[in-house]
Structures are given as structure tokens and as C-alpha cells.
Amino acid sequence: IGNLNATHLINHQNAVLLDVREAKEFEGGKLPNAVHIPLSQLDSRGAELAKLTSRPIIVYCARGQRSRAAAAGLQTLGFKDIYQLSGGFRAWKDAGLPLESA
């Protein structure tokens, strides 16, 4: 999913943003209101997302590689509406879209 479609899902369908980057990457900022659960912890911390399964979820990492693995894990947690942010955090930042401090 591209930045424009992601923004639409966030604004109109209350999509959840899930940042699966590791902690050291997260220090450079995050997308607004994103939930941070590193991919390496998704299995053990997935229950934290259980109450959000009715909402669309947009998963992202640094460039878009790890989000594929995370999407598979999110299916097993009960998410049906799963999107991967094309180009990840870098594409969002490069487009000059809003960020917030981690």
C-alpha cells in the first residue's frame, strides 16, 4: 500500500499502524500514533494487539522487507485487513509526511 492509500485508511477507517523495526531503528522517529512491536517480539507480544483485530492494520519496517513476515504473523493473530506500507518508514519520511518522536 502506498503512502496516499495508507493515509486514507488512517483517516477514514481508523487503521492501526504497526512499526516492526527493532528498538535502535525506532529511535529515529515513527509514524504518528504507531504501535511499536519489533518483529523479533511479535510472537510473544501479539496479544497486545488482540483488541484491535476489527480494524485495518498497516505494518511497516525500515524499507518494506520485514513487514512481509509480520503480515503473516498478524493473520495468525486474527487480523483480516492487513496492509504493508510500500517502502516502509524510509518512503514515508522521504515523502515529507508527518513523523513523531519515538
**What DSSP state is assigned to residue 100?**
B
Catalytic-labelled residue, pool 17, 61, 70, 82: 61
The residue to which cell 518522536 is assigned: 101
Q: Are 48 and 7 in contact, with CB atoms under 8 Å apart?
A: no
Element (H, E) at 84: strand 82-84
Active site residue 61: yes
Are 72 and 46 a contacting pair, CB within 8 Å? Answer: no
Residues tagged active-site: 61
